Amino acid sequence: MTEERCRLYLITPPVLPAGFADLLAAALDAGDVACLQLRLKDAAPDDIRRATETLMPIAQARDVAFLLNDDAALAAELGCDGAHLGQEDGDHAAGRKLLEGKILGITCHASRHLAMLAGEQGADYVAFGAFFPTGTKATLHRATPELLEWWSEMFEIPSVAIGGITAENCAPLVRAGADFLAVVGAVWSHPEGPAAGVRAMNAAIAAA
Ligand SMILES: Cc1ncc(COP(=O)(O)OP(=O)(O)O)c(N)n1
Ligand SMILES: Cc1nc(C(=O)O)sc1CCOP(=O)(O)O
Ligand SMILES: [Mg+2]
């Protein structure tokens, strides 16, 4: 996950709408996307298995890494490219062992301490957020561009910025050194559809 330029990190909606596979293919064909995280909150493992069987090939055929949210063991079982773990998603060191050679991302909220711990535990990226208010999830922490700046000056491990990020507000995060911008609403709720959302995010990143 080492990148020179900032790239888009796409996360699925928490519940997949009908026809999602086609929407996803169109979105990924619309512009650069580094990775896709399957984030189905409260779904049964078998539903996640079925969604992964359908969606992972669509991502991987386009050279987009496929990460699973919350569950390192299931990510390993399903042959995903990696997993994203939060602070409540089990033991990070155990997750690192399960995902040897794969991508492990860790939520660090707005905490320098959590980010340094994540680095020690072998995270491939640290995720900071939320940068802006978001309707996708109730958030308790507010991260700032200064945190991204500090992290990128101090450490080589890539950072992901998340939370309420749109094409309109992302420029300060790119300029502060975010390696990836993770979005849900900016793409899936774009008024002209997800492909337009991907195009708008990429244009904003390039212009920042
Ligand atoms: C890239 C990225 N960053 C942060 C999160 C949030 O993870 P977590 O705190 O475990 O919350 P949930 O997503 O599980 O609700 C994420 N998923 N992805
Ligand atoms: C999944 C998630 N985690 C966050 C955090 O702050 O850790 S904010 C968030 C929601 C991201 O969705 P949107 O791009 O629609 O705001
Ligand atoms: Mg989680």
CATH number reported for the structural domain that contains residue 53 in this entry:
3.20.20.70
pLDDT for the residue numbered 42: 86
Q: Domain limits at 43?
A: 7-207
The answer to whether the CB of 143 falls within 8 A of the CB of 131 is yes
End-to-end CA distance of the chain: 21
Dist. CA 95–CA 71, nearest whole Å: 8
Return the pLDDT at 1.
Answer: 56
Residue 200: band (very low, low, confident or very high) from pLDDT cuts 50, 70, 90: very high
> Which of 107, 139, 142, 181 maximizes ligand 1 atoms within 8 Å of its Cβ, making it the mutation to test the pocket?
107
The atom of ligand 1 lying closest to the CA of 9 is 1
What ligand is nearest to the CA atom of residue 86? 1
Strand stretches in 42-139, DSSP E: 65-69, 82-85, 103-107, 125-129
pLDDT of residue 89: 97
Question: Does the pLDDT of residue 195 top 90, yes or no?
Answer: yes
pLDDT digits (tens, 9 = 90+) for 91-101: 999 999 999 99
Using the predicted structure, report yes or no on whether residue 128 has a pLDDT greater than 70. Answer: yes
pLDDT of residue 3: 58
Q: Residue 118 has what pLDDT?
A: 98
> Of 109, 24, 16, which Cα lies nearest the Cα of 60?
24
Is 1 contained in some domain?
no
Q: Which pLDDT score is estimated for 19?
A: 96
What phi and psi, each to the nearest 5 degrees, are found at residue 2? Answer: -85, 125
Residue 85 CA, ligand 1 centroid: distance in Å: 7
| Ligand 2 lining (C-beta closer than 6 Å) | 107, 129-130, 134, 136-137, 139, 162-165, 183-186
Q: What is the mean pLDDT of residues 107-119?
A: 98
Q: What is the mean pLDDT of the chain?
A: 97
Nearest to 127, CA basis, from 145, 147, 146, 107: 107
Cβ atoms 197, 187 nearer than 8 A? yes
Tokens matching residue 116: 């340094």
SS3 24: helix
- pLDDT above 70 covers what percent of the chain? 99
> Is 180 within the bounds of a domain?
yes
Q: What total number of domains does the chain contain?
A: 1
Residue 119 is predicted with a pLDDT of 98
Reported as a single tens digit per residue, the pLDDT across 3-27 is: 579 999 999 999 999 999 999 999 9
Question: Residue 2: inside a domain, yes or no?
Answer: no
* Domain-embedded: residue 23: yes
Beta strand 7-11 with 35-38 is: parallel
Share of the chain above pLDDT 90, in %: 98
